[in-house]
Amino acid sequence: MQFGANTFIWASPFSTAAHLSLVDHVARLGFDVIEVAFEDPALIDLDALAGRAAGVGLGVLVCGAYGPGRNLVSADPAERAATAAYVRTLIDAAARLGSPVVGGPAYGAVGKTPATDPTARQRERDLAAAELRPLAAYAGERGVRLALEPLNRFETDLINVVEQGLALCEAVGSPHLGLHLDTFHMHLEERDSGAAIRAAGDRLFHFHACENDRGAPGRGQVAWPAVAAALADVGYSGPVVIESFTPEVKSIARAVCIWRELAASQDELAREGLTFLKMLFR
């Protein structure tokens, strides 16, 4: 099992000009992979990132950030087109960096206005499928897979649980589209995280290990033994990535509702989480 750390733990937005040293830092902490949150692709020099990661033997994963203005189910065609262009940029970056997946909730913006009723919500899901179909094909042509992340009910009304994610994948009908599961969201939404992972099966393309309070894995209420057993049962072989957020970046702290320190330091959060995950999956 490989283990990764998301750049959100320390910085937002990630840029190679300001944060390239995080690559070395993540490697020194003992991780195998750095997952880069591409909030603004213009801030990331792919050649510099690839070279630095190769120099320390670290893999790179690409993860999307879908805030306001990046909504694949927007009523505004221009916003949908811009979002699709952003996803294609991430796919191209993943192909350049050797990232097998692009993770994140590409189907719609985090915090978007909820649909007015179930019929309107289904229309948005149908629109998401139509928009994702060519993007999944684009990813497949470049040897990359798109992994859709179900989010909790406070962040989206579209895809909250594995069952809904699988339905969207089925509607798109592409082998290059699957799921990106996150234990933080699963703890809130799934009745049984292990059963949900087993339901995802071979559609599970990517995995985030996050505690129920977004702190270090192993320090809260997530049913970790059940999660580990389910991942083994479905034969998941991708990285397990710790994602958390720094309260020092006020904009991201507001976006994910972090109002207190989750650890003595961000390094401690990453270090304790990694130690726990290595014990869990040994």
243 annotated active-site: yes
Asked if 208 contacts 201 with a C-beta cutoff of 8 angstroms, the reply is: no
Asked if 8 contacts 256 with a C-beta cutoff of 8 angstroms, the reply is: no
> Which residue of the set 35, 131, 149, 155 is catalytic?
149
149 annotated active-site: yes
Pairing of strands 240-242, 3-6: parallel
Q: 22 — alpha (psi -120 to 50), left (phi > 0) or beta?
A: alpha
Residue 25: Cβ-neighbour burial (10 angstroms; 0-12, 13-18, 19+): middle
One-character DSSP codes across the chain: --EEEEGGGT-SS--HHHHTHHHHHHHHTT-SEEEEEES-GGG--HHHHHHHHHHHT-EEEEEE---TT--TT-S-HHHHHHHHHHHHHHHHHHHHHT-SEEES-TTS-TTPPPPSSHHHHHHHHHHHHHHHHHHHHHHHHTT-EEEE----TTT-SS--SHHHHHHHHHHHT-TTEEEEEEHHHHHHH-S-HHHHHHHHGGGEEEEEE--TTSS-TTSSS--HHHHHHHHHHTT--S-EEE----TTSHHHHHHTT--S-SSS-HHHHHHHHHHHHHHHT-
> Which residue of the set 124, 131, 243, 272 is catalytic?
243
Active site residues: 149, 243
